[in-house]
Amino acid sequence: MRPPTHVILVVNGIKVQRPVFVLAAPHSGADLIGRALKRSPGMHITMGRPDVSRVVYAFARRPSIMRGQAGGPARVLRDVFAEAWRMVPGACADCSPACREAGGLVGATLCATPEEVTRFGDANPDLIYSAPVLLQAFPDARFVQVIRDGRDVVADMLADPACMAWFKPGMLGEEAEFPNPFFGINSARNRDRWQAMPAAGKCALRWRSAVRLSARLRRELSTDQLLTLRYEEMVASPYAAAERLSAFLETRVSAVALLGGTQPRVGAWRRRLRPDDRRLVEKVAREELTRLGYLTA
C-alpha cells in the first residue's frame, strides 16, 4: 500500500503530524485505547464524534465511495477531522458521553487546549473500514488495532442496542453493495441467508470481517506504522501493553488510564452466550477464531 503525498492539515495553528487512529471490531477495546491516549501528554483524541461517524459509516456501508476520483474521499476525511479536532469554545458539546467521560470533562470545559496539544487522533472502532482512505489522507499516520475473542465480542454486541440497530431488516436494502465488509457479506446471493440468520450469526460476520481487514493491514503496513494488541493481553498485563503503546507512539501511556475504572471481561462468553449462539459463532468464524488461537482446530 503506497501512500500518496498530501497537503499538510493545520488545526488551531498546529500541523497534524503522525495522527493516531485506533481500529477494531465493535466491543474489542478501541475505547480502552482511546481513553488512555486522551490522557497521554500532548494527545488530542476524539471518540465517536457524530460528524466523523457519519462519514465513516457512509464509507463502511458503500465501499465504492472510497474509490472516488482525484483523492476526493481523502479530502473528505481530512475536512471532517479538521472540524472534529478544532479546540474552540463548545467544541466538546458534540462529543459522545464516552469521549467526555474519558476526558474527565465537567460542564462546558474542553478536553484539550492548543497550548498543550502536539498530536491528534481518533478512536472510532469502525475506522477499520476506512483504513485505506485514512492512509491516503494521512500517509504518516500511526494505527493501533485491537483484536479480541470473537465470542466475547458477540456477547457484548448482543447486549448493545446501538450495535443491534444495524441488523434491522431495512439496513441491508436493495441498494446495498457487495462485497460488504461492514456487514460481513461477500455476495448479494447471501442477502436472504443473512436476513434469516440469528443475531449472533450477524454479529459473528461483522467480527470476522473486521479481523480479516486487520490481517490485511498487518500484511501491508510496517511495524513502524501499525501496532496490533490483543484485548486479553491488555487485561492480563496492562503495564506491558502500556509500554508497547508508549514505545510505538513515542509518548507516555498510563497503564492505570488504560484499564482504570473498567471491569474487563475475558471469557465471559461461556456464561453469556446461549449454547446455540456459541455454536453458531464458532461455525461462522471458525477459521479466524482458530487462526488467532481462540479456538483449537
Note whether residue 1 is domain-resident. Answer: no
Q: What is the mean pLDDT of residues 174-178?
A: 83
Q: Is residue 8 part of a domain?
A: no
74 in a structural domain? yes
| Domain presence at residue 61 | yes
119 DSSP β-pair partners: 43
- pLDDT recorded at residue 69: 67
pLDDT digits (tens, 9 = 90+) for 114-152: 899 999 999 987 899 999 999 999 999 999 999 999 999
Domain containing 174: what range? 16-291
The mean pLDDT value for 277-285 works out to 98
Q: From its phi and psi, is residue 40 left (phi > 0), alpha (psi between -120 and 50) or beta?
A: beta
User: Which residue type does 207 have?
Assistant: W
The CATH number of residue 202's host domain is 3.40.50.300
Domain membership flag for residue 4: no
Q: What is the pLDDT of residues 15-48, one digit of tens each?
A: 999 999 999 999 999 999 999 999 999 999 999 8
**From the centroid of its chain, how far is CA 16?**
20
- Transcribe 199-210 into DSSP letters: HHHHHHHHHHHH
| Domain count across the chain | 1
Closest CA to 286 of 273, 297, 275, 276: 297
In a domain, residue 268? The reply is yes
Q: Is residue 57 part of a domain?
A: yes
The pLDDT value given to residue 3: 47
DSSP 3-state assignment of 176? coil
pLDDT tens string 235-247: 999 999 999 999 9
More confidently predicted of 226 and 189:
226
What pLDDT does residue 7 have? Answer: 65
Distance CA 38, CA 241 (A): 16
Cα torsion 17, 235, 126, 153 to 10°: value is: 170
Instruction: Specify the higher pLDDT residue, 103 or 224.
Output: 224
Q: Is residue 296 part of a domain?
A: no
- pLDDT tens digit sequence for 63-115: 888 876 668 899 999 999 999 999 987 777 777 777 767 766 555 567 788 89
